Structure 1
Amino acid sequence: MLRALARPMVRIVERWLPDSLVFAIILTFVVAAMSLTLTDSGPVEVLRGWGDGLAGLLEFIAQISIVLVLGYTLANTGPVRRLLRRISRVPRSPAAAYGFVTLVAGIASLISWGIGLIVGGIMAVQVAQAARERGIRLHYPLLVACAYSGFVVWHMGYSGSGPLAAATPGSFFEDLAPLVPVTQTILAWWNILAIVLVLAAVITSMVLLTPRGDDPIVELGEGQNPLGDPLGRETAEVAPVADSPEDGRGEDKPGEKTLAQRLDGARVITLSIGLALAAYLAVYFAQEGLALTLDIVNWSFLAVIMLVVGSSAQLVKIISEAGKTVGQILLQYPLYAGILGMMTATGLVEVLSSFFVSISTPQTLGIFTMLFAGLINMFVPSGGGQFAVQAPIFVDAADRLGVSHEVVIMAIAYGDQWTNMIQPFWAIPLLAVAGLGIRDILGYTTITLLVSGIVFGGVLLFLGPG
């Protein structure tokens, strides 16, 4: 049934869904039209809200770009390449491969959404390569869709920005209501059960989508490696780096390396900064506990890179290639920041949320909160930013209807991660690693949307007022 349902979705997406950049541009004008018709704002207010908002995510854009660059770089260091190849050889059948990639991406996303996106993309590539070497045919777009499907649980895990904001002293949430500890949200038994149920349902769905009979299969091409191999397979695994003939060094004494060349190829240089970063991280975690932030994830990546890379010269070559993966982020994310600016400046979010609150009861507020969060996520695909906009509205609604705050907190989180499956924003980093476009996977991740939505809704309906 799922395979029969997926086929028309794949065809519709391939035929009608525009490129992710075009999607963001169209969405900009849709939100502008909604702001003009559903609020009292005029064209000048809408335009000003959009323009002022364009720079609203600059810090985040830099952070996610560094995540992508460092993730690519780490994947191309010799020791990590060997480790990933070993892990990627675990699945021994197509069905096992799809389930394995989904599970690994899901677990990584629960630790940190940034890790989940990069690990998911890397594992999809590595599993596809390992399967090709064994003669196992895998449908590569489905495999990458499995990697992105694991991301559907990120906001239920350790880096969930909404629940963390609700539990953090000094956050904006403290002005709305008493803080809600993570033991009542992320670590609540019903949320942990929901994680298990969602992952089980999504993994099962991806396995059931395994192509059979005459179903088309698009494999990762022979010799194709979306992760790149900037140094060549052998060079990436061995510390010595060939001297650059055009750097102008050592010309007077052929065969002898200059001091500069020795420093460029010395492992001790990168090793020393790697040890310094590792020491900083040890102190940080000792003082703060396992408090992952996007910056800490980045410095963790960088520390590992510095500890395992052969030399600074090798690192420069890899990271130069890695820079090619961030173009879409730098181009598209400011457009989403502008959309967020429009929605907050014109009050469009409040107008839409008032409708959902008006039709809710104590038993259904959680579900309607999730549905509204899923809708807003299509326009404002930023977990933290979305929670900041929605929390004041739905905490007040919860107080009026007698619903526990933890219910609406996690309902916002569920809705945010739920419609990520049909929103290109978060898929861009993973697709950059995997070398595909949004049209290649969205038909399959729509199935993830449907399956996970049933589980999320069922959990919230069961909780009721909490």
Structure 2
Amino acid sequence: MSRRGSIDVDGDVVLDQESPNGDVREGFWARLALNFSGFVEKWFPDAFVFALIAVAVAAVAALIMGAPATAVADSFSTGFWDLIPFTMQMALVVVTGYVVATSPPASKLIDRLAAVPRTGRTAISFIATISLATSLVNWGFGLVFAGLLAKAVGRREDIKVDYRAAGAAAYLGIGGIWALGISSSAAQLQANPDSLPPDLIAITGVIPFRETIFLWQSLVLAAIILVASVTIAFLSAPGERNAVSARDLGVDLAEKTSTRRVRERPGDWLEFSPLLTIVVALLVAGWLFREFMTGDPIVVISNLNTYNLLFLALGMLLHWRPRSFLDAVSNAVPATAGILIQFPFYAGIAAILTRAQSEDGDSLAHLISEGFVNLSTPGTFALVIGIYSATLGFFIPSGGGKWIIEAPYVMDASNAMESHLGWTVQIYNAAEALPNLINPFWMLPLLGILGLRARHLVGFTFVQFLVHLPLVLGLLWFFAGTLDYHPPVQP
């Protein structure tokens, strides 16, 4: 007997009994996603509550380890503000990505792309492909662009698309291969000696992109993950009978009628003139030209500040007039709320893991890593480090920040076991993305765009996690055997 998704008075998804002939049934992956979605939608807490739970777990673990309560409290409180600059950078990634993606030219492109799929399931796989491909260039833009594409597809009346599955597909770039692309925080840091602490440079040396994201093993890994993710997105997407639309979820996707302002006084003239936009764009273009001519283009474009400035200028140009640009920024800001409030809590967690020490001088992060490294051998090192990176990433969902914490002892172990240093970075990158599929933190900007909650997406991303976990860890272990060790190269 087939079943049709609907929403009860409490907002939970229920399944109505239909089609007594049993002629329409979901496949295994779709049933798994639907069943897990039902559980998550009922029991999964809000993302902020999840962050508070993570704080409690880290604090209790540190106390059990033997750290004094005062040390735990001090670590959390002082570390709470450590990621404020990074928080601002991440907020601007979302804002500038949103501004570019909502510009008139980008909106026209999104509308054209949204009209391509012919069925609900192909629409899900199409969104997944766009999300994965764009995340290799810039995870922030890819997340926003894919989210807006999911909204545009959700507005279509000619096909029935499960809006939850569409949102999960838009998220796959962050949960799949973003860290294997040029916006990889760990690869950027290792390629730029000016960004690395001196102690870490002594251990790892400088590792250029050709030894990390441009290794043929890394490119093949990214391609396999992309194909697997799109396939699972297609197979797990509910058919039309079980699809839950945005309307079913109470999400209004109707395009808002533009309240276009007009010039009412002489002082409004500059708001509607492209003159100042052109001036700013020329200044940024001149600076970028000099940076690209005098430095390594890959290193230049990999810097988050450069990314944000580039997308800021691009957004101003695409909107053309300051008034349109400012309206887009105002619409983007709500999507950053989760980042602004939760990043400090994750910084506090990182501080507990690394600063709260027992009487023996051990930190919780060091004890965890020491246990994993002691379990490994040269043949299992890639697998052990992959598991460790994925586990720690569940509590510290920050690619660059977590790498600074993890790299000293992981890369030191890599040297001791004579494991390829660049591949160790890629082990971290690929494994670090895995917990994103079940940790709602990086969903926050997307949820603000879609008008959904984390529990609406996690049922489908959990299915992806079940496939990604053995696939990614297995490939990391396999490819590690194809690479030889090279001693660190100092700058």
Shared fold (TM-score, shorter chain, > 0.5):
yes
**Aligned residues of 2:101 and 2:145 also touching (Cα < 8 A):** no
Tell me, what secondary structure is at the counterpart of 2:136?
helix
2:94 to 41, 53, 68: 68
State the alpha-carbon separation in 2 of the partners of residues 27 and 209 from structure 1.
29
Q: How large is the RMSD of aligned CA atoms in angstroms?
A: 2.1
1:188 to 215, 225, 229: 215
| Aligned CA distance change for structure 1 residues 147 and 355 (closer, same or farther; 3 Å) | same
| Structure 2 counterpart of 1:112 | 138
State the alpha-carbon separation in 2 of the partners of residues 53 and 176 from structure 1.
25
Tell me, what secondary structure is at the counterpart of 2:177?
helix
**Aligned residues of 1:231 and 1:314 also touching (Cα < 8 A):** no
| Structure 2 counterpart of 1:163 | 187
Aligned residue runs from structure 1 range 54-453, under 5 A: 54-129=80-155, 131-132=156-157, 135-151=158-174, 152-170=176-194, 171-172=196-197, 173-212=200-239, 214-219=241-246, 224-225=252-253, 229=256, 231-232=258-259, 235=260, 241-243=261-263, 249=265, 258=266, 260-288=267-295, 289-290=297-298, 291-346=301-356, 347-453=363-469
User: Which of 395-404 and 347-356 deviates more?
Assistant: 395-404
**Aligned residues of 2:101 and 2:144 also touching (Cα < 8 A):** no
Letter in 1 for 2:29: L
Letter in 2 for 1:385: G
State the alpha-carbon separation in 1 of the partners of residues 320 and 212 from structure 2.
43
**Aligned residues of 2:335 and 2:447 also touching (Cα < 8 A):** no
Tell me, what secondary structure is at the counterpart of 2:377?
coil
User: Which of 272-281 and 214-223 deviates more?
Assistant: 214-223
Moved over 3 A (4+): 219-223, 228-232
| Structure 2 counterpart of 1:255 | none
Deviation at 1:452, TM superposition (A): 1.7
Deviation at 1:454, TM superposition (A): 2.3
State the alpha-carbon separation in 2 of the partners of residues 283 and 434 from structure 1.
39
Q: Which structure 1 residue ranges, 5 or more long, are not aligned?
A: 236-240, 250-257
**Aligned residues of 1:98 and 1:206 also touching (Cα < 8 A):** yes
| Aligned CA distance change for structure 1 residues 73 and 406 (closer, same or farther; 3 Å) | closer
Tell me, what secondary structure is at the counterpart of 1:397?
helix
Deviation at 1:428, TM superposition (A): 0.8
**Cα-to-partner distance string for 1:209-256 (whole Å, 9 max, x where unaligned):** 121264242235799338x74835xx4xxxxx4135xxxx4xxxxxxx
State the alpha-carbon separation in 2 of the partners of residues 224 and 74 from structure 1.
23
User: Which of 144-153 and 66-75 deviates more?
Assistant: 66-75
**Aligned residues of 2:161 and 2:240 also touching (Cα < 8 A):** no
User: If the length of structure 1 is used for normalisation, what is the TM-score?
Assistant: 0.89
| Aligned CA distance change for structure 1 residues 145 and 306 (closer, same or farther; 3 Å) | same
Deviation at 1:464, TM superposition (A): 4.1
**Aligned residues of 1:54 and 1:338 also touching (Cα < 8 A):** yes
Letter in 2 for 1:242: V
State the alpha-carbon separation in 2 of the partners of residues 181 and 68 from structure 1.
27
Deviation at 1:423, TM superposition (A): 1.1
**Aligned residues of 1:197 and 1:455 also touching (Cα < 8 A):** no
Q: Which structure 2 residue ranges, 5 or more long, are not aligned?
A: 1-27, 357-362, 484-491
**Aligned residues of 2:121 and 2:238 also touching (Cα < 8 A):** no
User: Which of 192-201 and 449-458 deviates more?
Assistant: 449-458
**Aligned residues of 1:274 and 1:302 also touching (Cα < 8 A):** no
| Aligned CA distance change for structure 1 residues 120 and 220 (closer, same or farther; 3 Å) | farther
Letter in 2 for 1:57: L
| Aligned CA distance change for structure 1 residues 333 and 401 (closer, same or farther; 3 Å) | same
Greater fraction of residues in helix: 1
| Aligned CA distance change for structure 1 residues 407 and 313 (closer, same or farther; 3 Å) | closer
**Aligned residues of 2:120 and 2:239 also touching (Cα < 8 A):** no
Letter in 2 for 1:209: S
**Aligned residues of 2:246 and 2:252 also touching (Cα < 8 A):** no
Identity over aligned residues, as a percent? 28
Deviation at 1:359, TM superposition (A): 1.3
